[in-house]
Amino acid sequence: MTPEEIVASARRCIGVRFRPQGRDPATGLDCVGVAGVAFDRTLPPARYPARGRNWELLATDAIEMGLREIVPGEARPGDLLIVEPGPGQIHTVVITPTGFVHADARLRRVVEAPGRPEWPVLAAWRGYNETRLP
């Protein structure tokens, strides 16, 4: 997939209702479900708690999705970030040209927020090959 295709797939999730452990846009998505749709991968329900900062299991999901870890400061549209929105919380977001797409539990739906996430970035992942970029 290209970065543009990843972003377009993530944006197609906007408006889908939030559902913990959600992996199907028809019934609801959580943040990992949005990543699965964006990168066109089917992921099992979470193997980790929403709290507890066990982001290494999210990294395992990213590897199983065929993504590779990158330097967080080099993230660009089409990349996946693992962030810490609150103490002991983990969350994934897909970077877009104007912001990021994520499943917002507070708003109860998938949204695109402007700018970069203000949360600490724990890891960044890329699912496309830069040699294919123009």
Q: Going from the N-terminus, what domains does the chain have, and what CATH number goes with each? A: 3-132 (3.90.1720.10)
Nearest to 76 by CA among 61, 62, 89, 94: 94
How confident is the model at residue 80, as a pLDDT?
94
Residue 53 in this model has a pLDDT that exceeds 70: no
The reported pLDDT for the residue numbered 133 is 45
pLDDT value at position 128?
84
Contact 91, 106 (CB under 8 A): no
Stated pTM of the model:
0.88
CA torsion angle 112 121 90 27 (round to 10): 20
* pLDDT-based confidence at residue 52 (cuts at 50, 70, 90): low
